[in-house]
Amino acid sequence: MHALVTGANGFLGGWIVEQLLARGDRVRALVRRDAPELAAQGADIARGDIRDLASLQAATKGIDAVFHVAAIAGIWGPKQTFWDVNVTGTANVLEACLQNQVPRLIYTGSPSVTFAGGDQQGVDESVPYPEKYLCHYPQTKAVAEELVLDANSPELMTCALRPHLIWGPRDQHLIPRLLERARSGKLRYVGDRTNLIDAVYVENAAAAHLQAADALQPGSPVGGKAYFITNDEPVNCWNWIDELLALAGLPPVKKGISTRGAYLAGTMLEGLWTLLRRTDEPRMTRFLALQLGTSHYFNIAAAKRDFGYEPKISMAEGMRRLKASWRS
């Protein structure tokens, strides 16, 4: 296929580009800045921004499938910023696809669109969106996901994937921030250290996108649906974090705070940040407290059934690959 990847300079987007090129597909990478590494791999570089419809109209010409990965993530910041990128940007991608008769769109969503603040233990895609959200990221991702799924039609077949806690080599956000907090002595465990979570190794997450794209054909059950994507092996959240710290030569997390205490701290910090009109992320928020103190793992039977997803790289193997990448 001739594929367009938005957010190709990002963590997951870069792996999707690599896997597409490795199997012989043509790839156009939509990026906002230079991408010499992607160009060196053989990708066609298109400079643009999903907030700019004109650049998307140019980038989607002659494309068979769009992997819409670009988004703004985070637990704090102005709502308009999240809305402009995650919602308006996605609407622009849909409009450009329709204008250029792109037949397939695979959208990268987030399991947080279903997070209501409590435990999620083995839930599947039937779990509804919550009535209220604790931060702008999951709310805007939910609105964008609905736009994508509602747009599914014979002219533009769409689906949404919800990879949970993507990790692995080349990550510049999740694990580096975790290690930075640990090195600065600011990392605390939340809750009683018994909560289980799902995560997904980045190469598995990328492979799921390719499999979904291949299955997104007329008459396929994939069209118009959202799918949780994980490694299908829930782990103890804080034991896994301790393992990551050990890989980096850091001691385990010793100090902690109750989930209620973290939630109250998040409430106070959010109020202070709002009063001061600060846009940097507080050390704790209500959303982060509940994410760190609750269990959230998912049933991925639908992805297995509908497009044959199977995580090929286990959590243990992923840890070995991550360690090897740090050494190199």
Known catalytic residues are 137
Q: How far is CA 318 from the centre of its chain?
A: 17
Side-chain half-sphere exposure of 259, counting CA atoms within 13 A: 15
Q: How far apart are CA 249 and CA 207, in angstroms?
A: 31
SS3 category, 294: coil
Q: Which of 12, 4, 3 is nearest to 205 (CA)?
A: 12
**Dist CA 287 CA 112 (whole Å):** 10
Q: In Å, how far are 6, 8, 36, 79, 319 from 40, measured between CA atoms?
A: 18, 14, 6, 37, 27
Beta carbons within 10 angstroms of residue 103's beta carbon: 17
Q: Quote the tokens at residue 294.
A: 């609750």
Helix (H) / strand (E) element for 273: namely helix 259-276
Q: At what angle do helices 174-183 and 237-247 cross, to 10 degrees?
A: 80
Tokens of 61: 């010409």
How far apart CA 70 and CA 85 sit, in angstroms, is 8
Interatomic CA distance for residues 95 and 270, integer angstroms: 36
